[in-house]
Amino acid sequence: MNDDTPIKRWTAKRKASAVMDIFKGKTTVAEVARQHDLTVS
């Protein structure tokens, strides 16, 4: 990561937003994991 890359923290608000998008069917767990470089587990 270089100095120009902003760091995005997993705040409670961001976590809740991701979970709500999954519940509403806007995205999948796999897609959220892929977008944020996370594992599905």
What pLDDT score does 8 carry? 73
Q: Answer yes or no: is 2 within a domain.
A: no
Q: Answer yes or no: is 19 within a domain.
A: yes
Q: Answer yes or no: is 27 within a domain.
A: yes
Give the pTM: 0.67
Q: Answer yes or no: is 39 within a domain.
A: yes
Q: Answer yes or no: is 29 within a domain.
A: yes
6-37 pLDDT per residue, tens = 667 889 998 999 999 999 999 999 999 998 88
Q: Which domain holds residue 29?
A: 10-41
Q: Answer yes or no: is 5 within a domain.
A: no
User: How many Cα atoms occupy the beta-carbon half-sphere of 21 within 13 Å?
Assistant: 14
Number of compact structural domains in the chain: 1
Distance CA 41, CA 39 (A): 5
What pLDDT score does 5 carry? 60
